[in-house]
Structure 1
């Protein structure tokens, strides 16, 4: 801004005209003040000074370093670096504050309640809270009690945090109290970190703690790997929860395929595995989709119907169609029948057979159309087979029309229908 003549505004001249030496001097003074600071008010004064220096540095017209001289110093860069260092020193000299303690206790509450403790780690975590409660009583009044379980222990930490907040501790006047509380809180933090959680164990240790290997004896340990035989024995004894735990824990593709195959052969007895298999099936994993068909739970149809639309992965569609046929939900009749028009003959054939497994009479007409006009004899044979599975008089009559068909597979199915 101009004041009416050619002279610059005083404020602008004062700010814009700061030299590197002047700014350096002010930073020296701020450093001396910081070293002598004893209270939060002193530190606030230093922060204000640094803010002013930063503003003046941004506005200062400082000389640029000589681009042709690699060793040339950049005064702005040096001042900015020193300013940053002083801010770091300022922050390290502040506090501690009561809020620092409360933040640690809030985090510790989450650790206590959310961690998956081992059998050994749980009592260690509880003891750590007990020790903190006893030590913190020296600095703040509270009636917190860790009780007998970790939920009560977590609540107790919240009680202490509330007591600290209510005490309204001052960073200057109550510095020793805050420092003592901070030390006890950090000790709690370290003790909880040291207590054992599941992630600290190896996979084999986790399985061992769960009793996965307990079913193995000298006689049945001969199968390799040991997990292979243990999973088979647990499944046979109906201990599917521990088999599912092994499935989620082992992380081996070989063991995953093996355990899923175990569930497949269990058939409807694998019902306890439904949720896990349904979740895995949503990733278009063919193994779990096959298991869902064997379990036969109609809840799976909502997931599986999505996998037979369009002309995507033919292998996935065929597996899904077979599973839908095995589940036998009437809700699947129309979605499956829609696949009789698929471009891929194998998918059309699988859809026809799935309709036969579903056994719904609504499928008789579309199957009869396929038997009459589909260009693939294999698909037509599947349609004839499906009509036989439905087994009503109308269905058998439609299939029996083709006893002298050109294709042997169709003819064979028609003769069986005629005999029925």
Structure 2
């Protein structure tokens, strides 16, 4: 049985043991910059910095890690490291590997910092922009107000000495209440049908939206100001800042889920016309894109046009047009032609390309107008290829004349377009091109085109260049010679 005199002794022994344990723990060492910057020494130095980054628990410690990375970068810049063999794609690149390692550590450093009060304020400002830039439905406005109110309450709970929820107005109706005097209401203002004169209901809803948004924006501004004034420290108040960022995420989600007028009108139109009926389980987002893929697979041209007309976004426009390009002739209808011809009439190269894939003869008249657009070679390239794919003989003369144009990059496309059309009237101008053009690319394209035409005359015009110095021209000539030999050999 111990007496009271033993207790001080036991306490002293426990303290000594704790001191001994602290002494036994290895102290964290500061990475030391190597005297000689070699691949091995810099790698070891970066390993030490990585350990320091993992152990850093404060912004000051992270600042120290950043300084160490700066030193490592300076040392690497002055290091005499072997250069990789440019002819060997698999050769080691010590400098590049170390630069990548430093960049990776810097990314880890940035990820470890914060969060900061500025991050929270920036997120609040983004939500303010969403509120101001969006036209809400009545139901959506209520949902947005609920999201703001929940955020204000969460912010007040996190920063109880900086945000006073009771002092911040979040009720959108409060704005209307300040402007409406019940005593001024005149029951005689109703018309014979029992409705308010002038459609007051619609005006009231619009007023509630405008004034109510101002109330919500003021509430968020008040919270942002309170957070800024609270001077939250990223180390001491890390938990509070994390809670605030979680609250801003919830606010953003609430605003995203709230109903907008544009969303309602567009989605209702699409739903009423069966646009979403093809969807079962889907993985792609947004759902409009998922439905678009199904309509493309099923050849539902009208639904793709509906999406193109209704969903006014660059994202969906691009995917609708790409769907038509992949569908090619399957996507050709009177309605789709009208849409694409309208775009082609405005020099839209994407639409021109699609009309070629559709082999749309209806586009030839429009496309021929662009053949002589020498100042717009990109438009010419799209036009020539489309005309070749359409294959209309009316394009032979205009395209043949472009074999003499100055642009070396466009002439080959004129030659190839003539080959795709396959009209024998192109044999002479193509033969002249392979004989006289200064560009081997143009000559090879002319040879290819003559092979596509495929008559004996066309093949002979190419085959005579089998001993040509240019490999690409020689290749076309050898293929033409082989075709002639095959035709001459009895079956």
Q: TM-score, normalised to structure 2's length?
A: 0.45
CA-to-partner distance for each residue in 1:246-275, whole Å, 9 max, x for gaps?
111212112111111111111111112222
Q: 1:380 aligns with which of 443, 458, 461?
A: 443
**Aligned to 1:226, which of 274, 287, 300?**
287
Partner of 1:392: 455
Shift of 1:336: 1.2
Q: What is the CA–CA distance in structure 1 between the aligned matches of 2:477 and 2:317, rounded to whole Å?
A: 42
Change (3 A) 1:277 1:310: closer
Matched, 1:334 2:388: no
Q: 1:247 aligns with which of 289, 308, 317?
A: 308
Using the TM superposition, give the Cα deviation of residue 183 of structure 1 relative to its aligned residue in structure 2, in angstroms. 8.1
Structure 1 unaligned segments of length 5 or more: list them.
1-181
CA deviation map 1:32-53 (0-9, x unaligned): xxxxxxxxxxxxxxxxxxxxxx
Change (3 A) 1:302 1:189: farther
Q: 1:181-196 counterparts in 2 under 5 A?
A: none
Q: CA deviation at 1:288?
A: 1.1
Instruction: Sort the Cα spacing of 1:401 and 1:333 in 2 relative to 1 into closer, same or farther, 3 A.
Output: same
Cα deviation for residue 296 of structure 1 reads 0.9
Q: Is 1:407 matched with 2:470?
A: yes
Question: What are the superposed Cα offsets for residues 180-235 of structure 1, whole Å, 9 maximum, x if unpaired?
Answer: xx988x999969x99xxx98953223222222112112x22x11121111111112
Rounded Cα–Cα distance in structure 2 between residues aligned with 1:367 and 1:190 = 73
Match in the other structure for 1:348: 411
Q: Specify which structure has the bigger relative contact order, considering alpha-carbon pairs within 8 angstroms and separated by 6 or more residues.
A: 2
Change (3 A) 1:288 1:189: farther
Distance in structure 2 (CA, Å) of the matches to 1:370 and 1:188? 79
Q: Distance in 2 between matches of 1:377 and 1:274?
A: 38
| Residue 278 of structure 1, aligned match among 317, 325, 341 | 341
Equivalent in the alignment of 1:237: 298
Offset at residue 323 of structure 1 (A): 0.6
Say whether residues 1:213 and 2:281 are aligned partners.
no
Paired residue for 2:427, among 351, 364, 370?
A: 364
| 1:73-92 equivalence runs, <5 A | none
Equivalent residues of 1:257, 1:287 under 8 A apart: no
Per the alignment, in what secondary structure is the counterpart of residue 465 of structure 2?
coil
CA distance in 2, matches of 1:369, 1:275: 39
* Aligned equivalents of 2:462, 2:192: Cα separation in 1: 85
**1:238 Cα deviation after fit:** 2.3
Contact 2:373 2:379 in 1 (8 A): no
Distance 1:183 1:321 in 2: 68
Question: What is the root-mean-square deviation in Å for CA atoms of aligned residues?
Answer: 2.5
Please list, as runs of the form range in 1=range in 2, the aligned pairs for 1:169-188 lying within 5 A after superposition. none
Across the two proteins, how many residue pairs are aligned to each other? 232
Contact 2:384/2:413 (8 A) holds in 1? yes
Q: How does 1:56-135 map to 2 (within 5 A)?
A: none
State the alpha-carbon separation in 2 of the partners of residues 376 and 246 from structure 1.
Answer: 45
Q: Could you report, residue by residue, the CA deviation over 1:265-294 in whole angstroms, capped at 9, with x for unpaired residues?
A: 111111122221111111111111111011
Distance in 1 separating the partners of 2:346 and 2:373: 17
Q: Cα gap change, 1:310/1:288 in structure 2, threshold over 3 Å: closer, same or farther?
A: closer
**Structure 1 CA distance for aligned equivalents of residues 196 and 332 of structure 2:** 47
Going from structure 1 to structure 2, the CA distance change for 1:399 and 1:241 (only over 3 Å counts) comes to same
Structure 2 residue 382 is matched with structure 1 residue 319? yes
Answer whether contact 2:284 2:290 (CA < 8 A) is retained.
yes
Rounded Cα–Cα distance in structure 2 between residues aligned with 1:213 and 1:321: 38
Q: Distance in 2 between matches of 1:323 and 1:375?
A: 26
Choose which of 313, 321, 341 in structure 2 pairs with 1:260: 321
TM-score normalised to structure 1 length: 0.52
- Cα 1:199/1:189, change in 2 over 3 Å: farther
